[in-house]
Amino acid sequence: MKELVILQAYELAKMRYAEQGIDTDAVIDALGKISISLHCWQADDVTGFEGATELTGGIQSTGNYPGKARNIDELRADIEMAASMIPAKHRLNLHEIYGEFGGKKVDRNEVGIEHFKGWMDWSNHTGMKLDFNTTSFSHPLSGDLTLSHPDKYIRDFWIEHSKRCREIADAMGSNQGSPSIMNLWIHDGSKDTTVNRLKYREHLKASLDEIFATKYSNMKDCLESKVFGIGLESYTVGSNDFYIGYATANQKIITLDTGHFHPTESVADKVSSLLLFVPELMLHITRAVRWDSDHVTTLNDETIELCKEIIRCDALSRVNIGLDFFDGSINRIGAYVIGTRAAQKALLQAMLEPLAALRKYEAEGQYFQRLALLEEAKSMPWSAVWDMFCLRHNVAVGEEFIPQIEQYEREVLSKRG
Ligand code: RNT
Ligand code: ZN
226 touches ligand 1 (CB under 6 Å): yes
44 touches ligand 1 (CB under 6 Å): no
| Closest of 336, 391, 297, 399 to residue 77, by C-alpha | 336
**How far is residue 42's CA from residue 369's CA, in Å, rounded to a whole number?**
43
96 touches ligand 1 (CB under 6 Å): no
| Closest of 122, 81, 82 to residue 100, by C-alpha | 122
Contact 193, 234 (CB under 8 A): yes
The CA 324 to ligand 1 mean position distance, Å, reads: 7
46 touches ligand 1 (CB under 6 Å): yes
For the CA of 133, the closest atom of ligand 1 is 11
Mean pLDDT, contiguous 10-residue spans, the chain (417 residues): 93 98 98 98 97 93 96 98 98 98 96 98 98 98 97 98 99 98 98 98 99 98 98 98 98 98 96 98 98 97 98 98 98 98 99 98 98 98 98 97 98 94
The CA 176 to ligand 2 mean position distance, Å, reads: 24
**How far is residue 110's CA from residue 102's CA, in Å, rounded to a whole number?**
14
pTM, two decimal places: 0.98
pLDDT digits (tens, 9 = 90+) for 238-277: 999 999 999 999 999 999 999 999 999 999 999 999 999 9
- pLDDT recorded at residue 298: 98
The neighbourhood of ligand 2, an ion, using CB within 5 A, equals 257, 284, 324
The CA 233 to ligand 1 mean position distance, Å, reads: 16
- pLDDT recorded at residue 52: 86
Contact 100, 117 (CB under 8 A): yes
What's the alpha-carbon Rg for the chain, to the nearest Å?
Answer: 22
CA dihedral 329, 330, 333, 338 (to 10 degrees): -110
The CA 224 to ligand 2 mean position distance, Å, reads: 7
Q: Which ligand is nearest to the CA of 325?
A: 1
Q: Which ligand is nearest to the CA of 185?
A: 1
Burial (0-12, 13-18, 19+ Cβ within 10 Å), 290: exposed
**How far is residue 169's CA from residue 180's CA, in Å, rounded to a whole number?**
6
For atom 1 of ligand 1, which residue has the closest CA?
59
324 touches ligand 1 (CB under 6 Å): yes
Catalytic residue set: 185, 224, 226, 257, 260, 284, 292, 294, 324
**How far is residue 34's CA from residue 316's CA, in Å, rounded to a whole number?**
8
Domain spans of the chain? Answer: 32-351
CA distance from start to end of the chain: 41
- pLDDT recorded at residue 124: 98
Contact 344, 86 (CB under 8 A): yes
pLDDT digits (tens, 9 = 90+) for 345-374: 999 999 999 999 999 999 999 999 999 999
**How far is residue 69's CA from residue 45's CA, in Å, rounded to a whole number?**
9
- pLDDT recorded at residue 326: 97
pLDDT digits (tens, 9 = 90+) for 176-227: 999 999 999 999 999 999 999 999 999 999 999 999 999 999 999 999 999 9
- pLDDT recorded at residue 328: 98
Best mutation site among 224, 243, 295 for ligand 1 pocket (most ligand atoms within 8 Å of CB) = 224
User: In angstroms, what CA-CA distances link 277 with 221, 250, 272, 315?
Assistant: 15, 10, 9, 13
- pLDDT recorded at residue 417: 78
Q: Which ligand is nearest to the CA of 182?
A: 1
For the CA of 41, the closest atom of ligand 1 is 6
Query: Which of 3.40.50.300, 2.60.40.10, 3.10.330.20, 3.20.20.150 is the CATH number of 32-351?
Result: 3.20.20.150
